[in-house]
Amino acid sequence: MAAYRDPELTKEKMLEKKFAINTHKKIENIFAIAHHHKHDCLVLSAFGCGAFKNPPEHVALLFKSVIYQYAGYFKTIYFAIVDDHNTGNRINPDGNFLPFKKILNGLNVHPPTTIRVNGVSGPNRILNKTSDGKLNLSDVCILYLQPCQYGSKCHDLKNPQHNNNYLHPPICSYQDATSSCEQMNDEVHMFTFLHNIKCQYGGQCDDNDPKHLSEYDHPNYCIDGGNCQNVHQQHLFAYRHLPLCSD
């Protein structure tokens, strides 16, 4: 899986959107192949930083995004990086080692506590989640749709025809109806994951319109199901409950 050679960069020395989203997909594929072969440890390179003139800080942040996606799938991830300065100090003036160390050294990532529809766990998209917690997962494909170069910033996310032709980022599983994602200041994370607005009504929302459900975050269903007898306001707001059968 080769990195891009001489990719287009922004004036801030970051990858242009098209190269950023496709580099992210290449890194995803590396992780997916490693998981398919049942590896529990990865040894990775700086992936195009240096001679291929990819910006190390941006590449390290893209690795970080995929590491969160694969949280819990690998015990340890190592980076074997030559600390060179072979781009004439234009793209990697701090070398390749320091940016990777700053962003990834000591990073300890735990799987999210919430599994979300249109979220992702390793190589699988979450297609559906029933009220009793059963999941419907996507097949694992290296590439079945071209990634949309605009990532989470795409203005056609609700356009069915566009979605049939392009792949868009998953919903961030580290944001739920009761807590915010801790990486909202990470532009790369925000570009590679979607973040919804929390519904103001929480578990008491009775709007079943698919458009509303796709645009706003709602709590998980109460684990007690129809046997729940907790009528405290805080509990009713924190969890959804199935309507009682009229019969």
| pLDDT confidence band for 237 (50 / 70 / 90) | confident
Q: Is the pLDDT of residue 219 over 90?
A: no
Q: Residues 28-38: what's their mean pLDDT?
A: 96
**Confidence (pLDDT) at 4:** 93
Q: Average model confidence (pLDDT) for the chain?
A: 87
Q: Is the pLDDT of residue 76 over 70?
A: yes
**Confidence (pLDDT) at 60:** 97
Q: Are 225 and 242 in contact (CB under 8 A)?
A: yes
**Confidence (pLDDT) at 29:** 96
Distance separating alpha carbons of residues 191 and 58, to the nearest angstrom: 12
* First vs last C-alpha separation in the chain: 59
Q: What is the pLDDT of residues 101-143, one digit of tens each?
A: 999 999 999 998 888 888 899 999 998 887 777 888 888 888 8
Q: Are 77 and 118 in contact (CB under 8 A)?
A: no
Q: Is the pLDDT of residue 178 over 70?
A: no
Q: What are the phi and psi torsion angles at 121 (to 5°)?
A: -135, 105
Number of Cβ atoms within 10 Å of the Cβ of 55 = 24
Q: Is the pLDDT of residue 202 over 80?
A: yes
Q: What is the pLDDT of residues 134-148, one digit of tens each?
A: 888 888 888 889 999
- Residue among 104, 130, 129 at smallest CA distance from 116: 129
- Residue among 157, 221, 161 at smallest CA distance from 193: 157
**Confidence (pLDDT) at 211:** 72
Q: What is the pLDDT of residues 80-89, one digit of tens each?
A: 988 765 555 6
With a pLDDT cut of 90, the percent of the chain lying above it is 49
**Confidence (pLDDT) at 85:** 58
Give 124's contacts (C-beta < 8 A, 6+ positions apart). Answer: 137, 138, 140
Q: Residues 58-83: what's their mean pLDDT?
A: 95
CATH of domain 17-104: 3.40.220.10
Distance separating alpha carbons of residues 151 and 116, to the nearest angstrom: 19
**Confidence (pLDDT) at 124:** 92
Residue 26 parent element (H or E): helix 17-36
Q: What are the phi and psi torsion angles at 166 (to 5°)?
A: -135, 150
Q: Are 20 and 191 in contact (CB under 8 A)?
A: yes
Burial (CB count <10 Å: 0-12, 13-18, 19+), residue 120: buried
Domain spans of the chain, in order of start: 17-104, 124-192, 202-238
